[in-house]
Amino acid sequence: MPKVTFIGSDDKQTQIEVPVGHSLMEAAIHANINGILGECGGSANCATCHVYVESGNLDALPEVGVVEEEMLDATSSERTEKSRLSCQLFMTEALDGLVVRLPPTQA
Ligand code: FES
């Protein structure tokens, strides 16, 4: 099963397995990763699942959609070129080894 590493704002790294087809947000909530809230349940409507994609097969990431693009302007922590909504990142085998960093705050 593909794996994703989450790096907390305290630099603690946690690697979890994410089933193909599941979103990173769902997997993080399931694994009790601190720093992902996912208040809207994954409908790209809250921006509390913001992550910074640090490394991995970046070409395999889906493009930022129209709704995601709008919500990324509403993140609590600074938006950068690495910003994504983890509820819009659905796991594929090609994304195995992805590393994402959690922002200092989601609310
Ligand atoms: S869970 Fe709400 S925008 Fe991702």
Question: Can you give the C-alpha Rg of the chain in angstroms?
Answer: 12
Strands of 13-17's sheet in order across: 13-17, 3-7, 98-101, 50-55, 83-85
CATH number at residue 40: 3.10.20.30
Residue 106 lies in a domain: no
Q: Which atom of ligand 1 is nearest to the CA of 42?
A: 1
Could you tell me if 86 and 49 are in contact, meaning their C-beta atoms sit under 8 angstroms apart?
yes
C-alpha to C-alpha distance for 18 and 106, rounded to whole angstroms? 22
Evaluate: CB of 46 within 6 angstroms of ligand 1: yes
Residues of the domain holding 11: 3-101
Half-sphere exposure of residue 35: CA atoms within 13 angstroms, side-chain side: 23
- Write down the residue that tokens 């992550």 correspond to: 51
Of 46, 64, 79, the one to substitute when testing ligand 1's pocket (max ligand atoms within 8 A of C-beta) is 46
pLDDT in tens, 15-72: 999 999 999 999 999 999 999 999 999 999 999 999 999 999 999 999 999 999 999 9
Evaluate: CB of 44 within 6 angstroms of ligand 1: yes
Residue 59 lies in a domain: yes
Q: How confident is the model at residue 14 (pLDDT cuts 50, 70, 90)?
A: very high
Number of independent structural domains in the chain: 1
Whether 107 shows a pLDDT value over 90: the answer reads no
> So what's the pLDDT on residue 73?
96
Give how far Cα 58 sits from Cα of 52, 55, 88, 97, Å: 12, 7, 14, 10
Residue 107 lies in a domain: no
Residue 30 lies in a domain: yes
